[in-house]
Amino acid sequence: MTNDTISDDGIDIAKARQRHPKAIEMARRGLELVRTKTTDQAPAVHEQPVGVYLDPARFETEVDVLFHQRALFVALSVELPQPGAFKTLEIPRFPLIVVRGQDGVVRAFLNTCRHRGSSLVQGTGLTRAFVCKYHGWAYDLDGKLRKVRAADNFGEPGCPGLIEVAAAERYGMVFARPRSLERDPSPIDVDEVLGDELAGQLEGWHLNLSEKVHAATVETASNWKLAVDTYLETYHFATLHKTTVAKTNFSDHAPFDVYGPHSLTAFLDRRIERLADQPEDQWRPLKHVQMVYVLFPNTIMTVMQDHVEYSMILPGRTHAENSMEHLYFSFPDFHAEDVHRSRFDNTQWILAEEDCPMAEEMFRNVEAGVLQTIRFGRNEPGLQHQYGGYEAALAEAARR
């Protein structure tokens, strides 16, 4: 590792990241959990009716309340490194383009041509303008209609440009709310979305200095919440991941914190007890702690010693399908392409061959009516907090 990332005010960013106060705290708490052979716990076991996965009407409400009305994490800034860089997201009924404009500002638009409704772009890329493949209408990066092909024959187009939605960028992250500005013109306050404490933590990771390495998508035949669930507890490591994750990580010891609807779980390396033999001011906690943030409702972002990765789970067209976008970014001070490629491939294999098939299996069983309820244990506080967040958001929307 080389410390080649120095901030404008002279701070050694790489060193500051490795000594992040929250990582030190979670390492300290993790050591105590390992010593006492316990884990952070919820007050009681929670019994969860399986209707939350099966009810089409509830699914429609979730999509509206959790994905259309909220500001969602949609990208890290590094995914849009220069003017013209864009990415698309398939949020149900709101396909989005997120793009960095010529002025450096990130904006978001519905990925729909105003002529006949075709999509403008797919995936990620770099462009000077969005040109519809159907009839050639062109839009500038700020969404303004640039050109109507054969305009003299077409007549007055009757639209100013693409349908814009609210977007905001801060702390190396981009958020968007998939409702048109005409319908909801209020700006996104990232600090309000995250809460002051979590915002301060995320700022300290200097995520804007990551470099994109790898990406993949997994389509899963299950309710979207079941796909999120696989990240919300470590209890399954010892059994589902006994030949993979469990070899390096504890299954029964995990510090857990909440920040409004968001949360943080620290996954602990089995060698964390080595820290007990070192003065705390010499700790490099990220060698032994993975900082797993849940950005409510659907993104899991993990900060590790040499990289950041996130999984964004998006509902499909029905309650029985979802897609998971898994992206991996290395920190600039860790240049080891072969190592990063191997780690990404390993994690992607675990997601595609262990976690997602388990989500599908669970969904098939609850869909078949085998169970009326499932249970979240005291040692699964992340699950209990997440589902409490779903219910609170839906209840608040119903009161409005």
The average confidence (pLDDT) of the chain is 95
Of 158 and 119, the structure prediction assigns the larger pLDDT to: 119
Q: Is the pLDDT score of 8 beyond 70? A: no
Q: Please report, for the chain, the start and end positions of each structural domain, with discontinuous segments joined by +.
A: 13-56+199-399, 72-187
Q: Is the pLDDT score of 23 beyond 60? A: yes
Q: Is the pLDDT score of 261 beyond 60? A: yes
Class of domain 13-56+199-399 as given by CATH: alpha beta
Q: Is the pLDDT score of 3 beyond 60? A: no
Residue 210 is predicted with a pLDDT of 77
Q: What percent of the chain has pLDDT over 70?
A: 98
Confidence band, pLDDT 50/70/90 cuts, at residue 390? very high
Residue 61 is predicted with a pLDDT of 98
Mean pLDDT value of segment 379-386: 98
The 3-state secondary structure of 358-370 reads HHHHHHHHHHCCC
Mean pLDDT value of segment 125-132: 97
Gap between the Cα atoms of 306 and 301, Å rounded: 14
Confidence band, pLDDT 50/70/90 cuts, at residue 1? very low
Confidence band, pLDDT 50/70/90 cuts, at residue 139? very high
Residue 6 is predicted with a pLDDT of 66
What CATH fold (topology level) applies to the domain 72-187? Rieske Iron-sulfur Protein (2.102.10)
Nearest Cα to Cα of residue 78 among 178, 198, 169, 194? 169
pLDDT digits (tens, 9 = 90+) for 265-277: 999 999 999 999 9
Residue 2 is predicted with a pLDDT of 37
Confidence band, pLDDT 50/70/90 cuts, at residue 12? confident
Residue 171 is predicted with a pLDDT of 96
Contacts of 75 (CB under 8 A, 6+ apart): 87, 98, 173, 174
Q: Is the pLDDT score of 40 beyond 60? A: yes
Q: Is 396 exposed, middle or buried (0-12, 13-18, 19+ CB in 10 A)?
A: exposed
Contacts of 275 (CB under 8 A, 6+ apart): 27, 31, 283, 285, 288
Gap between the Cα atoms of 229 and 382, Å rounded: 9
Number of residues assigned to the chain: 400
